[in-house]
A and B are shown apart, each in its own frame.
Chain A
Amino acid sequence: MAEDRARFEYLLRLGDNSLILGHRLSEMLGNAPALEEEMALVNVALDLIGQARLFLGYAGELEGAGRDEDALAYRRDVLDYRCALIVELPNGDFAHAIGRLFLISAFDFELYGALRESADRRLAAIAEKSLKEVTYHLRHAGEWVIRLGDGTEESHRRMQKALEDLWMYTGELFTPDALDEAMREAGIAPDLARLREGWDRRVDAVLREATLTRPAEGWMQSGGKDGRMHTEHLGYILAEMQFLQRAYPDARAW
């Protein structure tokens, strides 16, 4: 039972990351620089919401308290969310939005690749499906980082600035805590530190082609995935996302 609880917590991290990043990307609707890009970003958001449903649906089953994907998405407040800080940040300009998608997709690419070997076969199957989607997200966002980095003077400056701003939120993804360790020991999740290698290689290759400078490793923010201290932004995201469920608590179906 204790192990189910831990797996539930771990699945919340995966589900919340997809959900909140999907939410942020869906905010790009009507604001993208070109129609093709609008379609692409909506498509990515759709993939992420789909992943969130699978992770959260499974989490609810493991918890066994009768909470389904919607109860978990719409009835938890900031204190019980387990997403990494980086997904909560506002989109900012296109360089920030696409830069974030790139950095997270590169992480998810490594993570889902490794989760395919998970001892939890259902999680492995979700990872397998998600990996296909994330492979596309990574390519799409990576191509944009290259275009912007090696585009005009302005786009280079904006892309470099975005990387500098986002960098201190990447550490949390790779820093294992007690839950990550427990999942690794149970053969459910991979060693996070080992994912770093592939991420570094992939990110560095794109930055090089983009003529961008990798930001210096400095202080890394954390507190999202363990729920210790989220950003102020999360509360607003939830207020918006959960509005109908909160305003009409008697409604049984939508």
Chain B
Amino acid sequence: MYTQGLDGKIGPVREAETAEEKEREARFQARIDAEERIEPNDWMPEGYRRTLIRQISQHAHSEIVGMLPEGNWVTRAPTLRRKAILLAKIQDEAGHGLYLYSACETLGVERAELVEQLLAGKAKYSSIFNYPTLTWADVGMIGWLVDGAAIMNQVPLQRCSYGPYARAMVRICKEESFHQRQGYEIVMTLAQGTPEQRRMAQESLDRWWWPALMMFGPPDSDSVHTAQSMKWKIKRVTNDELRQKFVDVTVPQAERLGLRIPDPQLRWNPERGHYDFGPVPWDEFWRVIAGEGPCNRERLEQRRRAHEEGRWVREAALAHAEKRRLRDRAA
């Protein structure tokens, strides 16, 4: 998924102190335990609200920043059909971003404020989008691996305790599964193509494999939020469980494609009933998160530039709307 639950800082949250407050929190937890959905107007602990704002906004930012690496290939898509599919996919992602910002706004925060945080470099988005798309195979790889990982994480989120987020996920998952299939189809076409196309596919898998595994977030042993988020049913499955599931599903797909997963330690473990896999390069992960990935600067710079260059347009739209309002009132 696109929210790696990375930013540990949701600010100080006042603990329940009085008997009344404790009672209210207990009632809230009882609703969660009974699998009730929490809705925007319901009372919720401040920590729950802030955790959701952090997670949903990271998710929204990821959709928006995630448009850039794929957008890098729109003008160079190899056929008109591929170009049309890619445009449709990117449009879906913009839609997901808008949808998620709206879900976030139900928690009492403005989209403009969230976007400001992103542009100021204060908000996180998925580490995966800080990697470059160098060849056309990367567009396929993003669909197959990145959207595949996103689905893996988002399916359980359809049962998230917060209603608006859970409902957003239902729709988003449907579109993501289309994205994943088109990505797999691109990779398959390349894998069955000329030696040069095969090379392109294999090289791309080599570059994207580990960053894709990092998408599930740090190992459970280092994940600061997992326990509380699981208790609140914001999160249903741990990072490591999801990562394992992703590996188990993806390895046979790579085998079908005749592509090699770049992990010498990868092997089926019949006792566990899972694939064992080598250590994820977590130092790279933390570096990318800290802003030193190959494209962190460029991605943010592009969003900032579009925001700045669009300022006069947004101001004009507001000014025009105001003129209209005054004219309508005068009429």
Contact = CB atoms under 8 A, between A and B. Distances in A.
- Indicate, yes or no, whether A interacts with B: yes
Given A49-B84, A69-B80, A254-B189, A29 B74 contact: yes
B320 A32 contact: no
A70 B303 CA distance: 32
Contact of B83 (A49, A146, A147, A251): A49
Nearest to B303: A30
A26 interface: yes
A155 B75 CA distance: 28
B319 interface: yes
A197 interface: no
A70 B194 contact: no
B316 A147 contact: yes
B194 A147 contact: no
Interface in B87-142: 87-88, 90-91, 94-95, 97-98, 136
B194 A42 contact: no
Contacts of B309: 31, 33, 93-94
B320 A147 contact: yes
Contacts of B312: 152, 154-155, 158
Interface string B184-198: 001001101110110
B64 interface: yes
A46 B320 contact: no
Interface string B292-326: 00000000001101100111111111011001000
A209 B183 CA distance: 46
Contacts of A254: 78-79, 82, 136, 186, 189-190, 193
A29 B67 contact: yes
B9 interface: no
Nearest to A247: B196
B320 to A, nearest CB: 4
A35 B302 contact: no
B272 interface: no
Given A26-B74, A146-B320, A46 B313 contact: no
Q: Which size bracket describes the interface of A in this complex?
A: 35 or more
Contacts of A193: none
A53 interface: yes
B76 interface: yes
A50 interface: yes
A244 B186 CA distance: 14
B90 A29 contact: yes
B315 A155 contact: yes
Given A30-B68, A248-B194, A39 B78 contact: no
Contact of A53 (B68, B80, B189): B80
B71 interface: yes
B81 interface: yes
B80 A240 contact: no
B314 A251 contact: no
Interface string A74-103: 100000000000000000011000000000
Given A32-B306, A42-B94, A94 B80 contact: no
B87 A26 contact: yes
Contacts of A37: 310, 313
Contact of B196 (A73, A158, A251, A253): A251
B98 A49 contact: no
A152 B83 contact: no
Contact of A152 (B74, B91, B95, B316): B316
A135 to B, nearest CB: 19
B104 to A, nearest CB: 13
Contacts of B76: 240-241, 243-244
B313 A155 contact: yes
B84 A151 contact: no
A253 B201 CA distance: 14
Nearest to A94: B313
B102 to A, nearest CB: 11
Contact of B317 (A74, A151, A154): A151
Interface string B48-82: 00000000000000001001100100111111111
Contacts of B314: 33-34
A242 to B, nearest CB: 9
7 contacts: A31-B309, A34-B313, A52-B80, A94-B310, A158-B312, A244-B78, A254-B136
The 6 closest A-B pairs by CB, nearest first: A33-B310, A151-B316, A155-B316, A33-B313, A254-B78, A244-B78
